[in-house]
Amino acid sequence: MHLTRYTMYRRIGAALAQPMRGTILGVSGIENFRPMIDRTASVIEIQYPDADIHNLAFEDEHFDWVVTDQVLEHVSDPKRAVGETFRVLKKGGVAIHTTCFLNPIHLYPNDYYRFSREALRSLCEPYSEMLECGSWGNRLAIAAILFAARLRGIELPDRPGLRRWLATYNEENYPIHVWIVARRTR
């Protein structure tokens, strides 16, 4: 697990309280969620931008779960993209959106936006109730990744130590990543 995403995935997993079951749509990355997915779940993976998240090719209320992992900063119309994820989500289904707040420009094919927790809440509010909305980051991690970008992707050992502490220490006013877990109500 990467240093800058460790706490995010742990907090999302804790918010779920049970493994993801049923039908799951993963947009541009579901691997970091595999430990949270029941082995009997049916997972469909699509890749943005090959698949247009603004116009998903699925019928209304098709999925029990929709996961977009580090996608929203790359879409030209995030409001429309989030709306599409809720359109294909069954009532009572759960959407998980993760994205960056502090990150260097990274084209895929474009890099348009940065989101705060409040921005993610605002995007999801018309469709859902929030189960978890959080952020992770700290000044030391920001300084470390600005000094040496390769530190962002270093793997964490299973034992306690400086890297594990850095990956779990959080200063909410210095987010690197933000996320939301939201249940569709409308």
Q: pTM of the full predicted structure?
A: 0.94
DSSP string, 60-89: TT-EEEEEEES-GGG-S-HHHHHHHHHHSE
Run of H or E residues at 11: helix 6-16
d(CA 71, CA 28): 7
Asked if 89 and 81 count as a contact pair (C-beta separation under 8 A), the reply is no
Q: By 3-state DSSP, what share of the chain in percent is helix, strand and coil, each rounded to 5?
A: 30, 25, 40
pLDDT tens sequence for the chain (186 residues): 678 899 999 999 999 989 999 999 999 989 999 999 999 999 999 999 999 999 999 999 999 999 999 999 999 999 999 999 999 999 999 999 999 998 888 888 899 999 999 999 999 999 999 999 999 999 998 988 887 766 666 777 778 888 889 899 999 999 999 999 999 998
